[in-house]
A and B are shown apart, each in its own frame.
Chain A
């Protein structure tokens, strides 16, 4: 068992697939006829889905109201831009703070509930916030959205242009930075503890683990990452409306994560990619009915892949590699 000492290091190491994946995202910019606006959307939704994955995939807590945190970040970035704080990077970071606090409180609130009750509490909080923002017309502009958001050039150099070039690199950069952070987070002992609580909270208590307090921490971190996605949307479009907080958004992000596969961070990104590319195609074919196809995809994925596209691909690949190894007369299957 020479692999034992290397186990954790091996899990935390960047694989060739990962490096290739990020290079591909950066390289896509240079492809002819590429829709960089769509890709920017994928980055933002991917980050949002990744934030939900921390909660659902790693801690096993479902949230049906995750748009509350996305919207909190989006509006915070909007207010900053409107009232004179136009610097985008610091604006993005600041926008994560109120959502983190909101997430921490949500964690406190849901510590003792699970299952359907948990879905209802998170959904309820989402609806409350949505209603509040929609009604506070003086503050938020209501359904018309927040107007007059100014965003300074990125790093003082790159204006947010109408072609979305700066938006592309800014979203990709923010996504990557937060991904690196979340990746370190899930590979830390705390990440292991979250997985332990997902698997068996009672045993974690009997290991002396503060299971309930951890829920607040993971909610806060997840909410902050969701808020970063929201802030990115506001900053790259210079606009924010109550739609950022809608229940539809909460449902969509959950669908993306389930399609892509929960519990490996990349699942959210892959799910966002599949969802938004499909939406783009289908909406061009029949603008009204595209949710039919998304619904069908969801049903198929959940029925046949169970864990989502990415984990199934992984399993398939591993089986293939094992078979190839055997065919070559290699050692026993790994």
Chain B
């Protein structure tokens, strides 16, 4: 188990009286492309928020490289390489993609405060931001205010912002949500091309995408992980078919 990057141990989570997980043990191996599937309300998004520290568990621990980070603030976890995207676009509406990515890069490199130096003088970071936007096919939209971008473009920016941070572990909450099947594949192709060496955990509803891009699948249901296996085995697992695939 030395190649485990991220793990949870006995994670218990509840919102008031509503229990989401009872006792969740999970581990993510270096370099893995791990998909989480499960019905709506199973707690997939909550799980990602617990790992990133936007939420705190009632009990249990989150570990990075075997070190307990349960009480670390979210920013410290980002600095340690745990980066997420959001199921519902969480962007800077009034900023354009160039400004948004430059902002992410300034934060990554600790160059955002306190300062009287003009952003314009960060030419290396501005160049890097342009390159990243080009890679995501957002070059032509670099100066368009985010709020006026087409939804699919915003979805790409959502991922580009996370990639700008050079993550070690990337957590993607339904990256293809709201996209057509073709667009979904495009997003994943783009992502996998650019994320060599990054460990990826992604929540996804589209089974086509899951079976094509994941090498491990965890099935969340009823407050537990009911199955964790390779896509091929998950596909034929009778319990999964019963609770989730509904066939």
* Cβ 8 A contact of B111, one of A11, A189, A205: A189
**Bound Cα distance A79, B114 (Å):** 31
Compute the total of residue contacts between A and B using a CB distance below 8 Å: 128
Q: A193 touches which one: B86, B103, B122, B126 (CB < 8 A)?
A: B103
User: B38 an interface residue at 8 Å Cβ cutoff?
Assistant: no
A80 to B130, CA, bound (A): 52
A214 CB contacts on chain B under 8 angstroms: 113
Query: Does A331 sit within 8 A of B, measured CB to CB?
Result: no
Quick one: closest B residue to A9, CB to CB? B120
| A7 touching B103 in the complex, CB below 8 Å, given contacts A185-B116, A193-B112, A202-B90 | no
Contacting pair A209 B94 (CB below 8 A): no
A19 in the interface (beta carbon within 8 A): no
- Residue A210 lies at the interface, judged by CB distance under 8 Å to chain B: yes
CB of B75 within 8 Å of the partner chain = yes
Residues of A close to B118: CB separation below 8 A: 8-9, 12, 184, 187-188
**18 A-B contacts, Cβ less than 8 Å apart?**
A1-B139, A4-B139, A4-B142, A5-B126, A7-B99, A184-B116, A184-B118, A187-B120, A188-B116, A188-B117, A189-B112, A193-B106, A196-B95, A196-B100, A206-B86, A207-B104, A207-B108, A209-B107
Complex Cα–Cα for A200 and B78 (A): 17
Question: What 0/1 pattern do residues 155 to 169 of B give for CB contact below 8 A with A?
Answer: 000000100010000
**Chain B residues with a Cβ closer than 8 Å to the other chain, count:** 46
Contact indicator B130/A5 (Cβ below 8 Å): yes
In contact, A189 and B113 (Cβ under 8 angstroms): yes
Q: Tell me the minimal C-beta distance from B137 to chain A in angstroms.
A: 13
Which residue from chain B places its CB closest to the CB of A220 in the assembled complex?
B114
Decide: B130 and A189 in contact? CB cutoff 8 A: no
Chain A interface residue count, Cβ-Cβ cutoff 8 angstroms: 34
Chain A proximity of B125: nearest CB distance (Å): 9
| Residue contact A200 to B113, C-beta cutoff 8 Å | no
Specify which chain B residues have a CB less than 8 angstroms from the CB of A8 in the assembled complex.
Answer: 102, 118-120, 122, 126
Which of chain A's residues have a CB closer than 8 A to the CB of B54?
A: 202, 205-206
Q: Knowing A8-B126, A205-B74, A206-B84 touch, does A192 contact B94 (C-beta < 8 A)?
A: no
Q: Is A208 an interface residue (CB 8 A)?
A: yes
Question: Closest 6 interchain pairs by CB?
Answer: A208-B78, A8-B120, A9-B120, A199-B92, A189-B106, A188-B115
CB atoms of A209 and B75 under 8 A apart: yes
Complex Cα–Cα for A7 and B90 (A): 23
Residues on A with beta carbons closer than 8 Å to the beta carbon of B108: 207-208
Cβ contact within 8 Å between B106 and A192 = yes
Q: Provide the main secondary structure of the chain A interface.
A: helix
Cβ of B113 and Cβ of A193 under 8 Å apart?
Answer: yes
Given A5-B126, A185-B116, A190-B114, verify A206-B52 contact (CB < 8 Å): yes
Known A5-B130, A11-B120, A190-B113; 6 more pairs at CB < 8 Å: A5-B123, A12-B118, A184-B116, A189-B111, A192-B112, A210-B75
Smallest CB separation, A100 vs chain B (Å): 13
Residue A176 interfacial (CB < 8 Å): no
Min Cβ gap B146→A in Å is 9
Any B CB within 8 A of the CB of A101: no
A188 contact set on B, CB distance < 8 A: 115-119
The smallest beta-carbon distance between B129 and chain A, in angstroms, is 9
Bound-complex Cα distance A294 to B61 (A): 58
- In the bound complex, CA of A210 to CA of B52 (Å): 15
Minimal beta-carbon separation of A14 from chain B (angstroms): 12
